[in-house]
């Protein structure tokens, strides 16, 4: 079991309130992603859950057990770091078995659990190698294997893929998602990469300056962002935000339209001139300077034959406009 409940959790470093006060419930078996800009407190929140930092105030429970002051080893959680933290002089087998050995498991039990973890992680053929003889992705899998054998009630991942190249990140992201599907154990995953958040999470927690801006499924956050911060953070390229008369006409302080929800039309809409055009084959990204709506980013499917200096008309697709009021809160 791995339900984690944080109540009025606050963390200050000296005078600075990094997490001013936060409530969060993570259900058993959920894949929860903490996302937010650099310095928003994602790692601090994860480290508080792990017990690597003390709470300044508030409480934390894992299932029915209060663990507010429990040391990390008594929480039954396993943390996987971006730096792998493998022992270079030990084989993969010994690295994975290490926590079991420390806990006093018999050699037979160690072998059984290491064999099972290696199978899940496709590491069976690498058990006699040392970490230095492995690729970055394989090393990351060893680090995960060392967590799996402990059979934790939750896995905590702190930006585990940030040392890997772009292609390997995609593969590992899928592997971790599949691992979650087979183990069904609670996973908490910290990233500043909103694509990782969108593709992996059951539930995303968007943090900003130590506060929760919104908690929801990826599609809830995409379709119903609670405010302009979430609207700007989730989705790539960013949502276009427009103020002034166009927003006022919609009864809003700002209106938002995602780049993929701006259609190229032959009449009506907002007239503009193409600045930058990026042709990816699958999509075309345009930066269009309009009179009424300012500079807009457009993501059009396929190859759109528009270049720098071309005139174009843009219109929001029906039902895709977001409205935001005072302080950027969704209306
Ligand atoms: N031990 C510490 N002492 C003082 N300040 C700290 C300490 N650890 C973190 N902070 C501060 O707390 C804030 C949150 O840091 P944290 O590492 O949690 O952010 P993050 O969202 O994980 O950022 P990043 O994505 O850059 O890793 C930052 O302003 C950081 O400088």
Q: Nearest to residue 188, comparing CAs of 68, 96, 75?
A: 75
How many domains are there within the chain?
A: 2
Of 203, 231, 259, the one marking the end of a domain is: 231
Q: Does 112 contact ligand 1 (Cβ within 6 A)?
A: no
- 271-326: pLDDT as tens digits: 999 999 999 999 999 999 999 899 999 999 999 999 999 999 999 999 999 999 98
Q: Does 251 contact ligand 1 (Cβ within 6 A)?
A: no
225 and 258, same domain (yes or no): no
Q: Which two tokens stand for residue 236?
A: 């790539």
ipTM, 2 dp: 0.95
What is the 44 CA–ligand 1 centroid distance (Å)? 6
Check which CATH number belongs to the domain holding 294 and give it: 2.40.50.140
- 107-142: pLDDT as tens digits: 999 999 999 999 888 899 999 999 999 988 888 889
- 10-36: pLDDT as tens digits: 999 999 999 999 999 999 999 999 999
| Amino acid 140: pLDDT | 86
HEC per residue, the chain: CCCEEEEEEEEEECCEEEEEEEEEEECCCCEEEEECCCCCCHHHHHHHHHCCCCCCEEEEEECCEECCCCCHHHCCEEEEECCCCCCCCCCHHHHHHHHHHHCCCCHHHHHHHHHHHHHHCCCHHHCCCCHHHCCHHHHHHHHHHHHHCCCCCEEEEECCCCCCCHHHHHHHHHHHHHHHHHHCCEEEEEECCHHHHHHHCCEEEEEECCEEEEEECHHHHHHCCCEHHHHHHCCCCCCEEECHHHHHHCCCCEEEECHHHEEEECCCCEEEEEEEEEECCCEEEEEEEECCCEEEEEEEECCCCCCCCCEEEEEECCCCCEEECHHHEEC
279 and 312, same domain (yes or no): yes
237 prior amide bond cis, ω within 30 = yes
- 158-216: pLDDT as tens digits: 988 887 788 888 888 998 999 999 889 999 999 988 889 999 999 999 999 999 999 99
243 and 213, same domain (yes or no): no
Q: Does 18 contact ligand 1 (Cβ within 6 A)?
A: yes
Give the atom of ligand 1 at the shortest distance from the alpha carbon of 14.
Answer: 4
What is the 96 CA–ligand 1 centroid distance (Å)? 30
Domain range for 80: 4-231
176 and 42, same domain (yes or no): yes
In this prediction, residue 83 has a pLDDT band, given cuts at 50, 70 and 90, of low
Half-sphere exposure of 43 (CA within 13 A, CB side): 10
Q: Supply the residue whose CA is at minimum distance from atom 6 of ligand 1.
A: 13
| Amino acid 115: pLDDT | 94
| Amino acid 64: pLDDT | 87
Q: Supply the residue whose CA is at minimum distance from atom 24 of ligand 1.
A: 38
Percent of the chain at pLDDT > 90 equals 82
89 and 130, same domain (yes or no): yes
306 and 249, same domain (yes or no): yes
| Amino acid 162: pLDDT | 81
Q: Nearest to residue 202, comparing CAs of 33, 13, 3?
A: 33
Is 147 a residue whose pLDDT tops 80?
yes
- 247-258: pLDDT as tens digits: 999 999 999 999
Of 231, 259, 287, the one marking the end of a domain is: 231
What is the 18 CA–ligand 1 centroid distance (Å)? 7
292 and 155, same domain (yes or no): no
Of 231, 264, 287, the one marking the end of a domain is: 231
142 and 35, same domain (yes or no): yes
């Amino acid at each position: 079991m791995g339900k984690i409940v944080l109540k009025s959790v606050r963390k200050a470093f000296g005078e600075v309130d990094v997490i001013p006060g936060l409530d969060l419930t993570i259900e058993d078996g959920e894949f929860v992603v903490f996302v937010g800009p650099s310095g928003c407190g994602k790692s601090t929140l994860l480290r508080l859950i792990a017990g690597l930092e003390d709470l300044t105030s508030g409480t934390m429970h894992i299932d029915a057990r209060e663990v507010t002051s429990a040391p990390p080893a008594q929480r039954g959680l396993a943390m996987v770091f971006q730096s792998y933290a493998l022992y270079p002089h030990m084989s993969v087998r010994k690295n994975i078995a290490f926590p079991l050995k420390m806990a006093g498991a018999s050699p037979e039990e160690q072998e059984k659990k290491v064999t099972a973890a290696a199978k899940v992680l496709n590491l069976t053929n690498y058990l006699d190698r040392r970490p230095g003889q492995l690729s970055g992705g394989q090393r990351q899998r060893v680090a995960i294997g060392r967590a799996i054998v402990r059979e934790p009630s939750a896995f905590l991942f702190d930006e585990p893929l940030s040392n890997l190249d772009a292609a390997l990140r995609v593969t590992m992201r899928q592997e971790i998602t599949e691992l979650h599907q087979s183990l069904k154990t609670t996973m908490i995953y910290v990233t500043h990469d909103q694509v990782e958040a969108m593709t992996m999470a059951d539930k995303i927690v968007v943090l900003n300056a130590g506060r929760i801006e919104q908690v929801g499924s990826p599609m809830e956050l995409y379709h119903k962002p609670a405010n302009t911060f979430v609207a700007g953070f989730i989705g790539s390229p960013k949502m276009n935000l427009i103020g002034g008369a166009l927003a006022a006409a919609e009864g809003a302080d700002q209106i938002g339209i995602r780049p993929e929800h701006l259609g190229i039309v032959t009449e009506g809409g907002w007239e503009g001139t193409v600045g930058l055009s990026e042709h990816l084959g699958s999509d075309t990204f345009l930066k269009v300077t309009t009179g009424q709506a300012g500079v807009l980013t457009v993501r059009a499917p396929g190859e759109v034959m528009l270049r720098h200096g071309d005139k174009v008309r843009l219109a929001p697709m029906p039902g895709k406009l977001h409205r935001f009021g005072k302080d950027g809160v969704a209306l």
